[in-house]
Amino acid sequence: MNKTDWRTAAILFAAISSVYFATVAGITSSNDGSHFALVRALADKRSFEISEYLSFTENQDYALRGNLRFSDRPPGTAILTASVYAASQVLPPPLAPLRSKHDPDNPRLVYVLLVPVIAASATAIILFWMLRAHFTLPLTSSLLTTLAFAVGTMTWKYGSLLYSHATSGLAVMAAVALLSRHIRSDDFSRQGQTAAKAATTNAGFWLGLLLGASVLMEYTNIVFIAFVGLYWLWQAFSPPPPHPPAPSRERVTRLFRLILGGLLPALFLMWYNTVNFGEPLKLSTFNADTTRWPQNQSFLTDFATPIWVGLPAMLFYGSDNQGLFWLAPISLLGLAGLQGLWRRSRREFVLIVGCFTAMLLLFSTSTTFNPFTNDGRYITPFLGLWFVVVGFGISWLQSRLEAAPTTPLISFFSPLIIYGLLFLSIRNQIMHIAFSWGHDLNLAAMRPWAAAPENIAALWNAVFPNALNLPLWWGLVAVGWLAWRVVRREMKDRSRLVEKKALGD
């Protein structure tokens, strides 16, 4: 990306993260309460056992072994958050109290919620990079698509909640972006054969590490790992013409590094399972109270919904579930972008669309695909993949504007379609958040006027309960930016010094 793109990405990150941070409502339910219980246990007593914080789980979202209680969520999000919680003790208290359902008097709670805020915002920036730098789509199309993803989908809601979706989404998008960057059909022509080989080999370790970390965030990402792993092997062992396959020794080295990277988080998860549940392959989800959650008895009982029931609900509407296209109509433009991505890169089409489709079908069979949140939230970590395709759809529609003499009708309706669907999607997310746990918009208290100031204020307060604490986040962003500038300057000075010494020699 050029300087303009980098500046645009920085502004996007600041704006999107500010919206997410203002939306934070604390710990709102048993789900994020279960994550937070593990955070407190790790930070306060260096233990995975959460009996002292069981009330945060609302006495339902926990795993058990005898008289001991543990979080039934994957441990990755809580472990990441525990470090932030520990560091936050040196930060100033909130300017306004959080109206959190659990632990509302804890001044460090506001910083805990920075984890999903930063993770979801970073995911949006990765999407912007993929559209702009990797696929070289126009700046306007890339910007609109990123904004649509950030505030026109469920990403907005779960970018403000301590669920696992934001951290899982970051791991997923980072892995796909890394794979797309280093194993692409024109790597050899763009970087030179030696540099491309080195980059691809090194990328294997980091790709494996990201894939393994994604399972620490969401156990179901094991399906994502299987798909991406097979794709990586296909690319590494069968590169597209005219590039010949790499030597056998190099292919083995790539495979070894990929496995080594994935093995580190896998070993940690096996140790975590052994310490807490007695066996390396015993996951916390399947150690939940099965008298309350009978579907957690096994994988097969957890994914037992008929596909013809779950898929329409995940995409449109059904079983009290607002599907992707229903809740975020802007995502429909992905259907118009499928051909564009296919023409640009068939192999990356297989990766991006294939991963999204596989996970969509998996979650459509989930017994709890609508766990009282009415939004098919399980697909949230993979929305960034679909919005790569949406970017191609928006780019195609915008290109029709330039062809006004030949396609006057399409060029006239293109902006109406794009901006109409975008504003409708943003409106849907606003209302979805306003009626969610912890926000609880009270319609009975509103006046029967369309634009009464009292109604606007009530909606604002419901959607942005943490707006008064925004200066805290802006201060952290400013400190981070200044630190980055200092480090960058030192790195440049060192580089110049090395060059001078080299010239002197």
Give the mean model confidence (pLDDT) for residues 403-423: 77
Q: Is 65 part of any domain?
A: yes
Residue 122 pLDDT > 80, yes or no?
yes
Mean pLDDT value across the chain: 89
43, two tokens: 């930070």
Q: Are 123 and 155 in contact (CB under 8 A)?
A: yes
Residue 189 pLDDT > 70, yes or no?
no
Q: How confident is the model at residue 502 (pLDDT cuts 50, 70, 90)?
A: low
Residue 186 pLDDT > 60, yes or no?
no
Residue 8 pLDDT > 80, yes or no?
yes
Residue 110 pLDDT > 60, yes or no?
yes
Angle of CA points 251, 254, 256, to nearest 5°:
110
pLDDT at position 192, please?
43
- Any idea what DSSP says for residue 70? E
* Non-local CB neighbours of 268 within 8 Å, separated by 6+ positions: 216
Greater pLDDT, 4 or 389: 389
Q: How many domains does the chain have?
A: 1
pLDDT at position 501, please?
72
Q: Is 66 part of any domain?
A: yes
- Any idea what DSSP says for residue 55? G
Q: Are 164 and 74 in contact (CB under 8 A)?
A: yes
Residue 226 pLDDT > 50, yes or no?
yes
* Non-local CB neighbours of 359 within 8 Å, separated by 6+ positions: 220, 223, 224, 379, 382
Tens of pLDDT, residues 440-450: 898 888 888 88
* Non-local CB neighbours of 373 within 8 Å, separated by 6+ positions: 436
Counting Cβ atoms within 10 Å, is residue 262 exposed (0-12), middle (13-18) or buried (19+)? buried
Greater pLDDT, 185 or 443: 443
Greater pLDDT, 3 or 395: 395
pLDDT at position 400, please?
74
Residue 152 pLDDT > 90, yes or no?
yes
Tens of pLDDT, residues 363-381: 999 988 887 888 999 999 9
Greater pLDDT, 204 or 283: 283
Greater pLDDT, 80 or 491: 80
Residue 187 pLDDT > 80, yes or no?
no
Q: Is 24 part of any domain?
A: no
In whole angstroms, give the CA distance from residue 195 to residue 394: 34
In whole angstroms, give the CA distance from residue 453 to residue 444: 16
Q: Are 426 and 60 in contact (CB under 8 A)?
A: no
Strand pairing partners for 71? 62
Q: Is 379 part of any domain?
A: no
How many other CB atoms are found less than 10 A from the CB of residue 99? 14
pLDDT at position 288, please?
87
In whole angstroms, give the CA distance from residue 468 to residue 466: 6
1-15, 66-80, 179-193: range with highest mean pLDDT: 66-80
Residue 417 pLDDT > 50, yes or no?
yes
In whole angstroms, give the CA distance from residue 402 to residue 398: 7
pLDDT at position 233, please?
82
Tens of pLDDT, residues 261-317: 999 999 999 999 999 999 999 999 988 887 777 888 777 888 889 999 999 999 999
Give the mean model confidence (pLDDT) for residues 65-70: 92
Cα 226 to Cα 208, 335, 383, distances in angstroms: 11, 25, 19
Cα 246 to Cα 164, 190, 447, distances in angstroms: 38, 17, 69
Q: How confident is the model at residue 469 (pLDDT cuts 50, 70, 90)?
A: very high
Cα 467 to Cα 17, 206, 324, 454, distances in angstroms: 12, 37, 28, 18
pLDDT at position 196, please?
47
CA 211 to chain centre: 13
Phi/psi-derived region of residue 20, left when phi > 0, alpha when psi is between -120 and 50, beta in every other case: alpha
pLDDT at position 485, please?
86
**Looking up tokens 């399980």, which residue turns up?**
378
Tens of pLDDT, residues 419-436: 999 999 999 999 999 999
Residue 120 pLDDT > 70, yes or no?
yes
Residue 335 pLDDT > 70, yes or no?
yes
pLDDT at position 203, please?
78
Scanning 66-220, the segments in alpha helix (DSSP H) are 76-87, 109-112, 114-129, 139-151, 155-158, 165-182, 187-191, 193-217
pLDDT at position 504, please?
65
pLDDT at position 495, please?
77
**Host domain of residue 48:** 31-92
- Any idea what DSSP says for residue 56? G
Greater pLDDT, 244 or 338: 338
Q: What percent of the chain has pLDDT over 70?
A: 91
